[in-house]
Structure 1
Amino acid sequence: MSPSRLLRLPQLARLLTLVLSLFLAAGLFAPQSQAAPAAATPGGASTPNTPAGPAPQPATGSPERGAGEGKSAPADQRAPLPLDTRPAEVKASTAPTVKSFRLGAAAEQPCAIGDFSGRTGSDLVQHIKAADIQCINSLFQLTGGDARGAFREEQMSTVAYALRDAAASYPGDNSTSVEQLVLFLRAGYFVQWYHKDDVGAYGTALQTAIRSGLDAFFASAHSRDVAAGNAPILGESVTLIDSAQENVRYLPVIKRLLTDYNSGTWNPGGMAWAVNPVFTVLFRGHQVPGFDAAVEADPSVLDALSAFATRNNDLLGGDFGVLVYNASKELARFLKDTALQAKVRPLAKGLVDASAPNGRTVFQWAAVADSVSYYDAANCSYYGTCNAPDRLKAGVLTVNYTCSPSIKLIAQALDSTQLGTACTSLTGQDAFFHSVVKDNGPVKDDTNNTIEVVVFHSSLDYQVLAAAIYKIDTNNGGMYLEGNPAAAGNQPRFLCYEAEWARPSFEIWNLNHEYTHYLDGRFDMYGDFNAGMTTPTVWWVEGFAEYVSYSYRKVDNDAAIAAAGRHTYKLSDLFDTGYGDQDRVYRWGYLAVRYMLEQHRSDMDAVLAKYRVGDWAGARTLLKTTIGTRYDAGFDSWLTACAGGACAGGGTPTIPQLPECAGADTRQLDANCARSNVAATTGNYAHFYLTVPAGTKQVKITTSGGTGNGDLYYNPGGWAYTDANTARSTGPDNSETLTVTNPPAGYVFFSLYAQQGFSGVTVTSEF
């Protein structure tokens, strides 16, 4: 989970030829979970990945596995940034934006880091200008000596002055490579934010230089061109305002863009891409010294925001409605400044009056209502937004469906076929999960025996509406809200959304990742989310959710495999991972978890044993002292093999090999044995029984391998059938598990029903 963000401009697939960097649905190129933890700040729906935050250090990260509804962060620390226009793979925390807004063509020549870190002066400038956009994008990943070589203050100042010189003759397109200069500067601020010790401090020398560059660009006549050539460079330059924390100085530029915007000419020309970053500059401005005072002295930017939202109301419900949402949100956010409330209140009320908690204008209504709830809740009746979460939930989450006794779906727009597909995926994951972690049932004091799955219709709906309804941060790929699993009546839920970029195919983004959080919290992590964060466990929590999601779906984690080839981290360092850098959290978390599960299973079992009883310090000792650096060399070698193809196939857990059951009756199971080569034709059953000794605490039946699809059923009182059972596991293949706690003594019965004719299946019995 994380704070609200810069709303993204939707439907890039349809608009790509006109607007190269308009909204590309979250996660199109990202790993299964691209939850980008960000600063928790009050009031909203989505957190931009725009350049650095004005804070002197990265804001506290907020994970996408959260404590519970309304508990993502204190109200005075949580607020959505304007929704972002950039592809999800470029989003990383609230630090400076990672990568260009534009997709960029593939590099035509190799991109050697030494060409940037080893050059100075005009030699560096000329090389930057000649580089491909994708090459400059790769610099956002620099660390260590490379980061210092490329981005130390002297280098950044040189490039900032080069921007000044180039801007003097800026032609309104990238024929003079202004975009490369701007993007390089953004990369520098981003890397220095995360790796200040590597890069070194930035001071007044760079501030003077960057001001000269931005002053020259925004003074250029062609920076005002309403044209596709100017749009991406203007957008990058507005974002650079925030990277450099010059939000106060360039308020006049922000007002100019808001005032000049014309949907009739700017949207088709790609200029919506350029105006959207102004909302990030405004959001971040509240964290810059002197910003609020500047607005108090000249509140005309508030009138500009109100006029922008009002005259563009007809955009709501369409591809560019996010602009109106962002304007509404950033106007209402100024309610936090008591000196401005008299000015903001009637403007905000006017936006509420022109919208409703459902239908086409719901985003605008939600934007204002959410900010009112944080900054002016006592006066909600003035605005007409009291009980906003309940009204929004009733207005948009109208689909209710029971998947199983433990899984309930609440959705915005799923049809019956889509509901069935989602349910099948969820119910089938249980057996796979248990086969990986080899748990012994729920951890002590965990009563989370049901899960509520909330599915929004798109990433945009999730960013706006989940934030307003559930009071969470939504600059991520989904959110699990665990609550207190020991509390009576606690209802865990996770929030996710349909992947609109995959349409007409149907996919719920992060469905299996978030469901893994639920299962992991119930069977592996004692206590609530905050308890599990007592020591660094992010590497496991997020890495394991990635591992299960990819391996269960039999999908290669291409982004993680590519990261393996970079050898960025030692395994011992990954055990210290916290929320922040999403590449480290998700891709490297996946690699660390996969390595430990597949190469050092006994060590991982020992760590999980500690996690399951809440012995966080004990688990930490195992990881940092007992294991320590012992596996660093092996991990490094494994990364080489992984990048070379050894990690293809998604990763699959190894089911423990047990001896064949000895009884002459092939239907008879016994303690810790297996029946292999089990088969049945479609619509028929393979039946099994076993005798449970008195006092047995648990019986676990697992099926695996073979072809076809067999579903597993349990009945304590007679042969098990699809209509005569007390428990079942019905996944999409033969990977099924049923764990029966405190079974009755005597005969109990299991069967494998051939949903599709199967053969070669192995059935194991453990107790």
Structure 2
Amino acid sequence: MNYSDLVELIKTISYENVPDLFNFNDGSYTFFSNRDRVQAIIYGLEDSGRTYTADDDKGIPTLVEFLRAGYYLGFYNKQLSYLNTPQLKNECLPTMKTIQYNSNFRLGTKAQDGVVEALGRLIGNASADPEVINNCIYVLSDFKDNIDKYGSNYSKGNAVFNLMKGIDYYTNSVIYNTKGYDAKNTEFYNRIDPYMERLESLCTIGDKLNNDNAWLVNNALYYTGRMGKFIEDSSISQRALERAMKEYPYLSYQYIEAVNDLDLNFGGKNSSGNDIDFNKIKADAREKYLPKTYTFDDGKFVVKAGDKVTEEKIKRLYWASKEVKAQFMRVVQNDKALEEGNPDDILTVVIYNSPEEYKLNRIINGFSTDNGGIYIENIGTFFTYERTPEESIYTLEELFRHEFTHYLQGRYVVPGMWGQGEFYQEGVLTWYEEGTAEFFAGSTRTDGIKPRKSVTQGLAYDRNNRMSLYDVLHAKYGSWDFYNYGFALSNYMYNNNIGMFNKMTNYIKNNDVSGYKDYIASMSSDYGLNDKYQDYIDSLLNNIDNLDVPLVSDEYVNGHEAKDINEINNDIKEVSNIKDLSSNVEKSQFFTTYDMRGTYVGERSQGEENDWKDMNSKLNDILKELSKKSWNEYKTVTAYFVNHKVDENGNYVYDVVFHGMNTDTNTDVHVNKEPKAVIKSDSSVIVEEEINFD
């Protein structure tokens, strides 16, 4: 196909029709290594820039995505590094100006909005000069002047956002390649004031601020702070941020964003040179947005929550953690922390009222918020938010279970801190951590771990559109698909090859990176295993109507009666035949809980894998039998088993741990502890004479 025909073809398709466009492979290398072909796309884009109309974008968005893909691949792959040179990227400048000087370059129809958005994306990946940047002022002015009409229109807001984002990204990237990393040494210094004036005007829109346009105002504040250094008198941008602080309520998102931008870009000072007490403002924000604190398990489990997250929801999440922990311990076969004295000795869970309030976590706690939740191991804390079905296909409890699994992984399976050590150098654990977190989120109290319908529905029916076993085992962050397919692989191993699951996990626990890599390599090249994995996905999809999302039952939050801990101990012994059952009680804000640990002796060992299956089934039966007793609180008991052994009679042996509720905080608990004696006698004695003790 000649270049002209190729360009015409690209104009007629969406970039989404080329799923591997941004992936480096033989096809993308062959395509983008041809300089004449890339130049033809640039010329084609310029021609479209000259001829597009309000009703026909002439393929500009797709042509731009092809160029962006080339620049992206050139940045990350030395084989295409010629695409990452300023000389080549600057060849887009005449094309950009052609697009801008077309009379249809404005907000308006869907086609026009798409062209504006595409230009912003191209600027971010390619190039810009002061003329290109200042030519964007009419779009920003138009949006501000018509904010009542445009503010609720996503395509227009997104077009303006991509312009701001692209200009900010490119101009700041230039600084990193400039002498002294100083904006004064760039071509933009003191030459983009018209653009900055329009950008700053979007920071303060008075009583026109609403839920539809607030996100764009927040971004205008952010980019104003970052780009103020390109103005000769940077205090102009400072004052724009100060005006926002005065205009918007104290501790509103806009107020906090403005203060944050002053802190990051102007040394935490206002335009008069006075310090702003940002630490106090952040502390006040935490108090406002996370006013409630709940403690469980003698203070080892702490929840900080927004005032709209109900007390019942907090209780449900606590019990969800116990269901997940019980099933997790069964599979990974370890309930002892890999390292003592780490921050995760106390787990803190932070839950915001909504996705909007969660975004503040980026500022007041300093962690990314472009996610449904995030666990930070080095502070033993995970952050998430309450959500409605319209805001997320996953419930808060599902996200909680996922993030809680990350806590368990870091404490009991993966040595060291997250992101550190050889396991993290090549991202070989990415699929394991995310895929098994999605898997363990399906934990139940008495029926093992169930595949969640909410995740299964994200799997493709057509095998050609799925990730292969190799793809899953080598997945990296950047796509969400591997979460779903890692979930499916975990479910496959759990139900069909628990030995494989255990072997993989043991390599990680033992910090055996080379052993793990070799094992992954052998799995990746096993085409028969891939077929079984794909067959299992078929079975999940064929049964999808019968799947659900495991969540804790109402039994956990219904009214509860107290029961003597010793009676509980005896009842558990009665249904389980467990020996040497010791008890430990911990206090929580709403109830007390107990752990009971004993020894279960099974039948003749048939090997660890078969023993595990037998014990797993028997423990489920024990819990179900216990639930038949009249005390309803037995329906809150979870249990796991660890430490496989074989005794002198050839029978398998496990340590079994039960966890449940006892609401009576005044119960005289008989806990097995080391005895302590207090002995009093005379302060001096004579050797070999009798001593009198009180």
Query: Are the counterparts in 2 of residues 352 and 365 from structure 1 also a CA contact under 8 Å?
Result: yes
| Contact preservation (8 Å) 1:147, 1:199 | no
Equivalent of 1:442 in 331, 337, 344: 337
Q: Letter of the 1:147 partner, please give it.
A: S
* One-letter amino acid of the structure 1 residue matched with residue 640 of structure 2: T
Q: CA RMSD in A?
A: 4.5
Alignment partner for residue 408 of structure 1, among 284, 298, 302?
Answer: 302
> Which of these two proteins has the greater Rg computed from alpha carbons?
2
Alignment correspondent of 1:306: 200
Q: Which residue of 2 aligns with 1:145?
A: 26
Partner residue, 2:4 = 122
Residue 202 (structure 1) shift: 4.9
Q: Secondary structure of 2:367's partner?
A: coil
Q: Does 1:286 align with 2:172?
A: yes
Aligned to 1:622: 515
Equivalent residue, structure 2, for 1:168: 50
- Contact persistence 2:15–2:62 (CA under 8 A): yes
- Give the drift of 1:375: 3.9
CA distance in 2, matches of 1:561, 1:506: 19
Counterparts in 2 of 1:646 and 1:247: CA distance versus 1, 3 Å: farther
- Give the direction of change, closer, same or farther, for the CA distance of 1:558–1:234 in structure 2 (3 Å limit): same
For 1:368, the equivalent position in structure 2 comes to 258
Instruction: Give the C-alpha shift of residue 737 in structure 1.
Output: 3.1
- What is residue 124 of structure 2 aligned with on the other side? 242
Alignment match, 2:525: 632
Which residue number in structure 1 is paired with residue 368 of structure 2? 473
The amino acid across from 1:730 in the alignment is T
CA drift at 1:390: 0.8
Q: Deviations over 1:669-701 (max 9, x none)?
A: 2479xxxxxxxxxxxxxxx996789xxxxxx99
Contact 1:712 1:737 in 2 (8 A): no
Q: Give the 3 Å change call, closer, same or farther, for CA 350–503 of structure 1 in structure 2.
A: closer
Q: What displacement does 1:517 show?
A: 0.5
Distance 1:553 1:629, change over 3 A: closer
Q: Residue 565 of structure 2 aligns with which residue?
A: none
Shift of 1:326: 0.6
Deviations 1:579-618 (A, max 9, x none): x4335764565566566666664454344334335x3xxx
2:116 touches 2:163 (CA, 8 Å); kept in 1? Answer: no
1:670/1:690 contact within 8 Å kept: yes
- Equivalent in the alignment of 2:590: none
- Provide, for residues 292-334 of structure 1, a one-character-per-residue CA deviation record: whole Å limited to 9, x for no partner: 3344323524332221112x24344412101111111111224
Alpha-carbon distance in structure 2 between the residues aligned to 1:265 and 1:196? 47
- Tell me the equivalent position of 1:520: 409
CA contact (8 A) 1:162 1:213 kept: no
Preserved CA contact (<8 Å) 1:226 1:266: no
Within 5 Å, give how 1:195-206 maps onto structure 2: 197=79, 201-203=83-85, 206=88
Partner amino acid for 1:494? Answer: F
Runs of 5+ unmatched residues, structure 1: 1-118, 484-490, 653-664, 673-687, 694-699, 714-718, 741-746, 754-767
1:669 aligns with 2:554: no
Matched, 1:457 2:359: no
Corresponding residue for residue 552 of structure 2: none
Q: Distance in 1 between matches of 2:433 and 2:334?
A: 16
Matched, 1:428 2:428: no
Match status 1:216 vs 2:93: no
Deviation at 1:468, TM superposition (A): 0.9
Shift of 1:242: 0.9
Q: Note if contact 1:667-1:689 (Cα within 8 Å) is conserved in structure 2.
A: no
Tell me how far apart the structure 2 counterparts of residues 407 and 225 of structure 1 sit (CA, whole Å). 51
Contact kept in structure 2, 1:565 and 1:643, CA below 8 Å: no
CA distance 1:378–1:545, change in 2 (3 Å): same
- CA distance, structure 1, for counterparts of residue 408 and residue 213 of structure 2: 38
> Structure 2 CA distance, aligned partners of 1:510 and 1:600?
27
Deviations, residues 3-47 of structure 1 (Å, cap 9, x unaligned)? xxxxxxxxxxxxxxxxxxxxxxxxxxxxxxxxxxxxxxxxxxxxx
- For 2:431 and 2:289, how far apart are their aligned partners in 1? 35
Please state how far the C-alpha of 1:247 moved relative to its aligned partner: 6.8
SS at match of 1:224: coil
Aligned partners of 1:228, 1:534: CA distance in 2, in Å? 44
User: C-alpha offsets along residues 63-82 of structure 1, whole Å, 9 cap, x if unaligned?
Assistant: xxxxxxxxxxxxxxxxxxxx
Question: Which one is further off, 373-382 or 433-442?
Answer: 373-382
1:342-357 paired onto structure 2 within 5 Å: 342-357=235-250
- Residue deviations 1:246-289 (CA, integer Å, cap 9, x gap): 37663213433323323023235542221111231243131124
Deviation at 1:147, TM superposition (A): 1.6
CA-to-partner distance for each residue in 1:525-562, whole Å, 9 max, x for gaps? 22322445554433322332233236656234444557
Q: Aligned pair 1:330/2:210, yes or no? A: no
Instruction: State the AA in 2 paired with 1:264.
Output: D
CA deviation string 1:94-133 (max 9, x = no partner) = xxxxxxxxxxxxxxxxxxxxxxxxx441221222222256
Give the TM-score of the pair, scaled to structure 2: 0.69
Q: Residue 411 of structure 1: CA displacement?
A: 2.3
Corresponding position: 1:498 with 2:386? yes
2:151 aligns with one of 251, 262, 267: 267
Instruction: Give the number of the structure whose residues are more often helix, by fraction.
Output: 2
**What SS does the aligned partner of 1:319 have?**
coil
After superposition, the C-alpha distances for 1:715-755 in whole angstroms (9 at most, x for unaligned) are xxxx99677xxxx9938xxx743779xxxxxx9996999xx
SS in structure 2 of the partner of residue 287 of structure 1: helix
Q: Select the residue among 613, 631, 636 that pairs with 1:730.
A: 636
Query: Secondary structure of the equivalent of 1:234?
Result: helix
1:231 aligns with 2:113: yes
Counterpart for residue 392 of structure 1: 285
Instruction: Decide whether the 8 Å contact of 2:83 with 2:89 is kept in 1.
Output: no
| Alignment match of 1:608 (pick from 502, 505, 508) | 505
Question: Which residue identity is paired with 2:28?
Answer: A
CA distance in 2, matches of 1:220, 1:513: 50
- 1:349-392 Cα offsets, whole Å, 9 max, x none, are 2222223443xxx1112212223333444537544644232121
- 2:452 corresponds to 1:554: yes
Task: Report what 1:83 is aligned to.
Answer: none
The 8 Å contact of residues 159 and 185 in structure 1, kept in 2 or not, is answered as yes
Q: In the alignment, is the contact (CA less than 8 A) between 1:729 and 1:738 conserved in 2?
A: no
In the alignment of these two chains, the number of paired residues is 567
Q: Which has the higher contact order (CA 8 A, sep 6+)?
A: 1
Q: Which amino acid aligns with 1:148?
A: Y
Give distance in 2, aligned partners of 1:175 and 1:704. Answer: 65
Deviation at 1:524, TM superposition (A): 0.9
* Identity %, equivalent residues: 17
CA positional deviation for 1:445? 1.4
In structure 2, do the counterparts of structure 1 residues 460 and 200 end up closer, same or farther at CA, with 3 Å as the change threshold?
farther
Residues 626-678 of structure 1: per-residue CA shift (max 9 Å, x gap): 664464133543454355446777999xxxxxxxxxxxx97342479xxxxxx
Indicate conservation of the 8 Å contact 2:339/2:411, yes or no.
no
Q: Return the TM-score normalized by structure 1.
A: 0.63
Q: Shift in Å at residue 420 of structure 1?
A: 4.4
In structure 2, what is the equivalent of residue 538 of structure 1?
Answer: 430
Q: Tell me the SS of whatever aligns to 1:582.
A: coil
Structure 2 counterpart SS, 1:309: coil
Structure 2: runs of 5+ lacking an equivalent = 443-448, 549-572, 581-595, 602-613, 644-654, 662-694
Stretch deviating more after TM superposition (228-237 or 399-408): 399-408
Give the match's secondary structure for 2:51: coil
My pick for the range that moved more, 179-188 or 234-243, is: 179-188
CA contact (8 A) 2:49 2:102 kept: yes
Distance 2:71 2:262 in 1: 33
